[in-house]
Amino acid sequence: MSFLDYAPAPESRAIVSLKDDYGLFIGGEFVPGHGSSFRTISPATEEVLTTVSEADASDVDAAVQAARGAYDKVWSRMPGAERAKYLFRIARIIQERSRELAVAETLDNGKPIKETRDVDIPLVAAWFFYYAGWADKLDYATGSKNPQAWGVVGQVIPWNFPLMMLAWKIAPALAAGNTVVLKPAETTPVTALLFAEICQQAELPPGVVNIITGAGETGRELVSHEGIDKVAFTGSTPVGRAIARTLAGRSTALTLELGGKGANIVFDDAAFDEAVEGIIQGIFFNQGHVCCAGSRLLVQENVHDELLQRLQRRISTLRLGDPLDKNTDIGAINSKAQLDKITELAQSGVAEGATQWQADCALPSSGFWFAPTVFTDVQTSHRIAQEEIFGPVLSVLTFRTPDEAIAKANNTPFGLSAGVWTEKASRMLAVVDKLQAGVVWSNTFNKFDPTSPFGGYQESGYGREGGVPGLLSYLRPTTGAAVKK
Ligand code: NAP
Ligand code: MG
């Protein structure tokens, strides 16, 4: 039952004016691609937003050549302090255009405007500001004289945080002195194309950043191109594995940021109201399309019923619908394909004997939607406890002792994130130390900062983004930086 009704509060989309079609951004210009063009839609309405060029092998080659030319003739010769000025300029333009970028991201991706406005775009600007500050201090970051960039970097990113993933890739790469060719995901190219315009606006030397749109095949062409010195990939574990196979035996450096199945562990002494907010933030932020989502809730058995009751009551107040509405908590699923994947995995949970609870909320008639879902009675062997769902679906398991919580949390091939909720500092420290995860949040979840390294273990990939380790990944290892294949 809802006691309060909200009036519609839509953010105006007038601030975004997209062209009817976009070419590829190569050598500082938009040029037509040689593949077949494709359309990107708003997943909330299925309305077509714009038409985008597909890069074929010859376009990928042209982009790599442009990046090579810019590296050899301009960027590798430019002092770090000068590179920094371009990065600061890009960061400031992102701030100036932040509302436009937030609306464009919400339209193309389906995520709520309050997230793009308050999380994605501020972090994008923060990433450029942070790495701008490092561009003239590489000696200090590495502890060696004149560290060398890799050269030309090929970067492939997913659709869940389109502009944010672009910033995580491009800002440290340019600060370290590389030039880049980046491929955004097929369903979310819009903000990468607006970023290309920002590069023009910042008068970044042509060829330093090249943006090539396309689907998986374009990504495959890019990462296997012989002119690339380093590949940085964020996406699914199967594609990451395929890329590692392609590059095996080559000198091309590789970092992989892959999937996850994060455990959010709640002890019986936790502050419940805060934990409930953290659990919700952990799994319903960005519709659960988050690699480090807290998709497995591990709750101490003696407080299971009380915590679940509070959690379900709170979930029932979340507002699902128009992502451009400023009161919306849960937006659209990014694509029909992703919706089908979530639906299939949720059905497997029911078939394997878990108990499904869904918030009672009306789903819009067009677009792709999935109601917030909680599974209880989950066994560790269930697919919903093992596989990444990448949607608003929480699997709840119980434990009795800290050792059991740790064993269950680590019982996954991934190792990206975890959260621990307890008021006892000694317990917090003891548990955190034993979790095999690249990031562990204590009494919070899904917090990001450019100074803080992010990355995984095991099938969640290798390499770190963010902080000094994220900078070192873009420098040759003669500096002592650990970037390996
Ligand atoms: P995906 O299918 O692996 O796609 C990621 C990117 O790779 C897209 O641009 C995709 O193109 C491209 N691609 C597809 N096949 C390729 C190939 N053979 N060679 C090179 N590139 C290829 O993953 P997704 O479903 O879009 O994204 C979700 C996954 O990303 C989840 O598993 C999530 O956990 C992971 N993720 C990880 C992090 C992290 O930092 N660890 C962050 C965000 C997301 P198209 O999309 O155009 O097909
Ligand atoms: Mg789209």
Task: Check if 431 has its Cβ closer than 6 Å to any atom of ligand 1.
Answer: no
Q: Is 216 in the pocket of ligand 1 (CB under 6 A)?
A: yes
pLDDT of residue 16: 98
Catalytic residue among 11, 199, 291, 292: 291
Of 257, 387, 388, 465, which residue is the catalytic one? 257
Q: Which atom of ligand 1 is least distant from the CA of 168? A: 40
Could you tell me if the CB of 158 is within 6 A of ligand 1?
yes
Q: Determine the pLDDT at residue 477.
A: 85
- C-alpha separations of 443 from 120, 253, 413, 432 in Å: 22, 36, 24, 11
**Ligand 1 neighbour 236 (Cβ under 6 A):** yes
Ligand 1 centre from 158 Cα, in Å? 4
Q: Does ligand 1 lie within 6 Å of residue 304's CB atom?
A: no
Position 107 scores a pLDDT of 98
Q: Whose alpha carbon is nearest atom 16 of ligand 1?
A: 216
Given this model, what pLDDT does residue 2 score? 55
Ligand sitting nearest the alpha carbon of 185: 1
Ligand whose nearest atom lies closest to the CA of 213 = 1
Give, for ligand 1, the residue of 258, 459, 464 to mutate: max count of ligand atoms closer than 8 Å to Cβ. Answer: 258
In the residue annotation, 257 being an active-site residue is answered as: yes
Query: Going by CA atoms, what residue is nearest to atom 2 of ligand 1?
Result: 236
The reported pLDDT for the residue numbered 483 is 44
**Residue 291 among the catalytic residues:** yes
What is the predicted pLDDT for the residue at 478? 66
Looking at residue 5, what is its pLDDT?
A: 83
Ligand 1, atom 43, residue with closest C-alpha:
291
Q: How far does residue 390's CA lie from ligand 1's centre (Å)?
A: 12
* Ligand minimally distant from the alpha carbon of residue 105: 2
Per-residue pLDDT tens digits of the chain, which is 485 residues long: 456 688 999 999 999 999 999 999 999 999 999 999 999 999 999 999 999 999 999 999 999 999 999 999 999 999 999 999 999 999 999 999 999 999 999 999 999 999 999 999 999 999 999 999 999 999 999 999 999 999 999 999 999 999 999 999 999 999 999 999 999 999 999 999 999 999 999 999 999 999 999 999 999 999 999 999 999 999 999 999 999 999 999 999 999 999 999 999 999 999 999 999 999 999 999 999 999 999 999 999 999 999 999 999 999 999 999 999 999 999 999 999 999 999 999 999 999 999 999 999 999 999 999 999 999 999 999 999 999 999 999 999 999 999 999 999 999 999 999 999 999 999 999 999 999 999 999 999 999 999 999 999 999 999 999 999 999 999 998 644 444 44
Which pTM does this prediction carry?
0.96
Confirm or reject: Cβ of 244 under 6 Å from ligand 1: no
Helix H, strand E, coil C: the string for the chain is: CCCCCCCCCECCCCCCCCCCEECEEECCEEECCCCCCEEEECCCCCCEEEEECCCCHHHHHHHHHHHHHHHHHCHHHCCHHHHHHHHHHHHHHHHHCHHHHHHHHHHHHCCCHHHHHHHHHHHHHHHHHHHHHHCCCHHHHHCCCCCCECCEEEEECCCCCHHHHHHHHHHHHHHCCCEEEEECCCCCCHHHHHHHHHHHHCCCCCCCEEECCCCHHHHHHHHHCCCCCEEEEECCHHHHHHHHHHHCCCCCEEEEECCCCCEEEECCCCCHHHHHHHHHHHHHHHHHCCCCCCCEEEEEHHHHHHHHHHHHHHHCCCCECCCCECCCCECCCCCHHHHHHHHHHHHHHHHCCCEEEECCCCCCCCCCCCCCEEEECCCCCCHHHHCCCCCCEEEEEEECCHHHHHHHHCCCCCCCEEEEECCCHHHHHHHHCCCCCCEEEECCCCCCCCCCCECCCHHHEECCECHHHHHHCCECHHHCCCCCC
User: Relative to the CA of 186, which ligand 1 atom is closest?
Assistant: 47
- Ligand 1 neighbour 390 (Cβ under 6 A): yes
Q: Which ligand has an atom closest to residue 159 CA?
A: 1
